[in-house]
Amino acid sequence: MKKNKIDIICPLYNAESYIVPLNNSLMKQKKVNINSIKYVLTESSDSSENILKKNKIKYKKIKKEEFSHSLTREEVAFKSKADILCFISQDIVIEDDLWLYNLTKNIVNGKCEAAYSRQISKYNNIEKYTREFNYNNISIIKSKEDIDNLGLKTFFFSDAASAINTEVFKELNGYDQKKLPINEDMYFAYKLITNGYRISYEADSVVFHSHKFKLKDVYNRYKLTGKFFKENSYIDEYGTTGSGKALALYILKRAIKDLNIKVIFRWPFDMAARLLGMKIGKSVYKREI
């Protein structure tokens, strides 16, 4: 396998507990050629900057008002001279020293132009089951030919742990200089697929990605997602092929099977927060325009 140069791009914010273990796990990656690790630190209220300096980790600092999930990544990516861009989030946990190799191997071999890792939650909460549903143990390469079967899921892609051919990213103009508050990964995945490129889900490239969201957090995330779909309604037109209902039922069945009482009791409220957030997000955006 040709060792293409890889630039890893990772936004940081209040990341004091993540920086050192994340950087150490990246430095341990095998069978890959990491050209650089580019950290972008949004001004924080914790010790993130001191930790970066103490450990002699290079970074760029930006002001809070400058941060954007799309623009912050895009600016760094456009300057990259590496063959492959790897986008990650600060809170992933990497335990496999072949994680990056497994993530990028099919891009290098020409089987796809982008790829994303399997994500597993370490917490015994609803997220555990959503991760199981969205990230199973079977790898798949998605293309334009899968749209009729998969619908919106064709564009499912997560830049919490992903890789993209740099030339293709630039050719497609990244995120089109849009300041996207959420779903920037799906926005770009749509462009990839509809332009005839392929996305590989790499089940053997595993990261742990865990949260403990409050109901308010769930509501706010889905409200933003609703606004995204209203603003980019051409993506929403592809339909979910019933995946939302399937996910809800999967969570409930798994929780009952595991006798996970906390999840069973939270389930109706969590699903309601998602549904209401999505609905409000779309209606709020409609009024704003």
Report helix, strand or coil for 162: strand
Residue where a domain terminates, one of 169, 185, 209: 209
Residues 89 and 34 in one domain: yes
Residues 165 and 244 in one domain: no
pLDDT > 70: what percent of the chain? 97
DSSP-assigned letter for residue 43:
P
Report helix, strand or coil for 67: coil
Res 287: pLDDT: 46
Mean of the pLDDT values across residues 189-203? 98
Residues 185 and 239 in one domain: no
Residue 9 amino acid letter: I
Helix (H) or strand (E) holding 11: strand 5-12
Residues 110 and 253 in one domain: no
Residues 86 and 153 in one domain: yes
Helix (H) or strand (E) holding 281: helix 261-288
Residue 30 amino acid letter: K
- Average pLDDT score, the chain: 95
With contact defined as beta carbons under 8 Å apart, do 161 and 209 qualify? yes
Residue corresponding to tokens 């409200």: 223
**pLDDT band (50, 70, 90) for residue 285:** low
Half-sphere exposure of 167 (CA within 13 A, CB side): 9
CA nearest to 193, candidates 240, 237, 153: 153
Residues 156 and 230 in one domain: no
Residue where a domain terminates, one of 169, 193, 209: 209
58-62: long-range contacts, CB 8 A cutoff, minimum separation 24: 59/12
- The beta strands (E) that lie in 26-166 are given as 33-42, 59-62, 84-88, 92-93, 114-120, 140-142, 161-165
Residues 172 and 223 in one domain: no
Helix (H) or strand (E) holding 156: none
Tally of structural domains, the chain? 2
User: What's phi and psi for 125, nearest 5 deg?
Assistant: -120, -170
Residues 247 and 194 in one domain: no
Residues 59 and 192 in one domain: yes
Residues 156 and 270 in one domain: no
Res 244: pLDDT: 84
Helix (H) or strand (E) holding 174: none
Q: Give dist(CA 191, CA 28) in Å, integer.
A: 33
Tally of residues, the chain = 289
Residue where a domain terminates, one of 209, 230, 252: 209
Res 3: pLDDT: 79
**pLDDT band (50, 70, 90) for residue 43:** very high
Domain range for 56: 5-209
Tell me the two tokens of residue 234: 């051409």
- What's the whole-model pTM score? 0.94
240 pLDDT more than 90: no
Mean of the pLDDT values across residues 270-288? 85
Res 32: pLDDT: 97
105 pLDDT more than 60: yes
Residues 13 and 87 in one domain: yes
